[in-house]
Copies of this chain bind each other. A is one copy, B any other.
Amino acid sequence: MTTEPAEAGRDPEAVSKFVEGFAAQLVEAGMQRMPARVFAALLASDSGSLTSAELGESLRVSPAAVSGAVRYLSQQHMVAREREPGSRRERYRVHSNQWYEALTNREAVLKRWESALREGVASLGPDTPAGRRMAETLAFFEFVDGEIAAMMERWRVHREKTFGAG
C-alpha cells in the first residue's frame, strides 16, 4: 500500500494553488523557497501535520529537500517534529495558534541589530551626528522590543474573545 491520502475530500488543485501562492509571498518576504513551500503545505493541511512522505509527494520533491526544509523550520520554531507512536515516521506540525507568534520572536534579530548599533555609536562617538542618528535608531528598536511583548498580550485577550479558548 502506498502512502495513504491523509487529507481526503479536498480539491488538490485548490490546495496546491494556495500553497504555491502563499509560499511565494513568504519567499518574497525573505524565506527560502523550500521551507516556504513546506510551511504553506502544513498550514493548508486539515490536521495541521504531515509526514515527510506526504510532503514530498504533494510538493513533488525529494526526501532530502523535505529534510532540509524541516530542519530550518524547526530551528525557527515554526514547526514541531513529532514521532508517530509505533512507527518510524515523523510528523511535522504547525502549532495552529502559535506559529505566527514565532514571527514576532524576531527578538534575536532585533538584539543583533541593537548590538551592531551600540558598537557603531561607541566607535563613531556618541556626540557625532552619525553617532546620534544611530543612538536614536537604537532607542527605537529598544522601544519596539517592549511594545511587541505588550501587543502579544493584547492579542491573546482579543483572540480569546473572538475565537474562544484554543
Contact = CB atoms under 8 A, between A and B. Distances in A.
Q: How many identical chains are in the complex?
A: 2
Contact of A162 (B21, B123, B139, B158): B139
A124 B18 contact: yes
Interface string A103-132: 000000100110011011001100011100
Chain A facing B: main interface SS: helix
Interface in A119-151: 119-120, 123-124, 128-130, 133-134, 136-137, 139-141, 143-144, 147, 151
Given A14-B123, A143-B158, A25 B113 contact: yes
Nearest to A100: B140
A71 interface: no
Contacts of A147: 151, 154-155
Interface in A43-65: 43-48
A123 B30 contact: no
A96 interface: yes
A21 B155 contact: no
A159 interface: yes
Interface residues of A, number: 54
Contact of A48 (B43, B109, B116, B129): B129
B45 A130 contact: yes
Given A18-B120, A44-B134, A94-B133, 7 more contacts: A10-B128, A15-B124, A48-B133, A100-B140, A100-B141, A136-B163, A144-B155
